[in-house]
Amino acid sequence: MHPGLAALLVRRMLPACFLLAPDACLGNHSANRANRARRVKLIIGLGNPGAEYDGTRHNVGFEVVDEVARRWGLEFQSAPADAVLAKSRGLPGGPPAALLLKPLTFMNRSGQAVGTVQRYYRVEFSDLFVVTEDVNLSLGRLRARRRGSDGGHNGLRSVIECLGTQTFSRLRIGVGRGDPGRGLTGRVLSRFDAEERPAMDEAVDRAVDAIGLFIELGIEPVMNRFNRQETAEGEADEEVGE
């Protein structure tokens, strides 16, 4: 058969929408699902670099992304910023496609590394997920938000300033206020007591689960599952700055 005639027959057999927009012909649901799969998520754990800060309350964000990397068999390497980065390419049978980032700029300048990596990989703001500690939440409690102010957290303040937006998802992990007479700096730079560690280990496990859910389905299911779970387990904590 003449090639031109064969092409004409194919065009008559296929719906016009398939020729003009195959995704539309397959249905919006399938197209949206494919688009989500192609978009990479950037998961950021906030903390301070250096062995002297390991295990401190301020470094819970680092601890969470370290655990994600461990479970997924990833190693942190140099990033196009003052940070380390672990990459999952979403290969069949492996973990989902994602970037795990630990800024090495110290907490108060975390946004410099976050902004650089976000622009380098062209990650949408809606695909960012920042994990950090919060002294205003009770020990081990999780709180997810799709947007909001820094709530007095210097790391979140830096991220907001460098991105130029408050519209990015974040997960705050409660480390407890402790003695009200003690300064916040001393509190966040302190290590967990032996009796606190089991609650934090459990919180880190839940945070890893929250990250997996965010990568798969976005922030809404994370909020619905983890915020409600936390509220059901105890009285609501005071919300600060959001």
Q: For position 187, what pLDDT does the model report? A: 64
Please list the active-site residues. Answer: 58
Q: For position 182, what pLDDT does the model report? A: 64
Q: For position 231, what pLDDT does the model report? A: 59
Alpha carbons 115 and 157: distance in angstroms, whole number: 13
Q: For position 235, what pLDDT does the model report? A: 47
What contacts 63, CB < 8 A, 6 or more positions away?
Answer: 45, 47, 55, 204
Strand residue runs (E) in 116-200? 128-134, 142-145, 169-174
Q: For position 41, what pLDDT does the model report? A: 96
Q: For position 190, what pLDDT does the model report? A: 78
Q: For position 58, what pLDDT does the model report? A: 87
Is the whole model's pTM more than 0.95, yes or no? no
- Quick one: tokens of 20? 């003009």
Alpha carbons 214 and 99: distance in angstroms, whole number: 13
Q: For position 228, what pLDDT does the model report? A: 78
Q: For position 232, what pLDDT does the model report? A: 55
Q: What are phi and psi of 29, to 5 degrees?
A: -60, -45
Q: For position 63, what pLDDT does the model report? A: 96
C-beta of residue 111 within 8 angstroms of C-beta of residue 165: no
Q: What CATH fold (topology level) applies to the domain 21-233?
A: Rossmann fold (3.40.50)
pLDDT (tens digit, 0 to 9) for every residue of the chain, 242 residues total? 555 545 444 444 444 443 334 444 444 544 444 444 468 999 999 999 999 999 888 899 999 999 999 999 999 999 999 999 999 998 888 889 999 999 999 999 999 999 999 999 999 999 999 999 998 899 999 999 999 999 889 999 999 999 999 999 999 999 877 666 665 666 667 787 889 899 999 999 999 999 999 999 999 999 999 997 665 555 444 444 44
C-beta of residue 101 within 8 angstroms of C-beta of residue 117: yes
Q: Structural domain boundaries of the chain?
A: 21-233
